[in-house]
Amino acid sequence: MPTYCVARIKLHYGKIPQFVEAMAQLVPIMEEQGWKLLASYQTIIGDLHEAYDIWELPDANAVGAGLVAAAADSRFPELAPRLAGAIQTEQLSIVAKTPFSP
């Protein structure tokens, strides 16, 4: 049964374009670790400096393993400062589908 990771990301003021560009480069790295980005949303009403990413993972163990492997990827050192400069806080939640979910 797949596991889902929801990332709630608070961005620094004016850093949405930087975040979008960096995430476009991070997604393939995470996909190589078995993560599949199902959706990514940016708030248009409410806190305009917030984004949500919904990832499908093979299991809960893929969270730690995927993050460690991504950080060890040769592309990550160039990408990390741009992500850090754009992201104020990030909260990861591991969730499962409810019985009524499509």
- pLDDT tens-digit series, residues 26-69: 999 999 999 999 999 999 998 889 999 999 998 888 999 999 99
pLDDT of residue 102: 84
Domain boundaries, the chain: 3-92
Give the mean model confidence (pLDDT) for residues 75-102. Answer: 94
**DSSP bridge pairs for 52:** 8, 41
User: Candidates 3.30.830.10, 3.30.70.100, 3.90.1010.10, 3.30.420.40; correct CATH number of 3-92?
Assistant: 3.30.70.100
Phi/psi at 83 (nearest 5 deg)?
-65, -45
Q: Are 18 and 1 in contact (CB under 8 A)?
A: no
> Given pLDDT bands bounded at 50, 70 and 90, which one contains residue 2?
confident
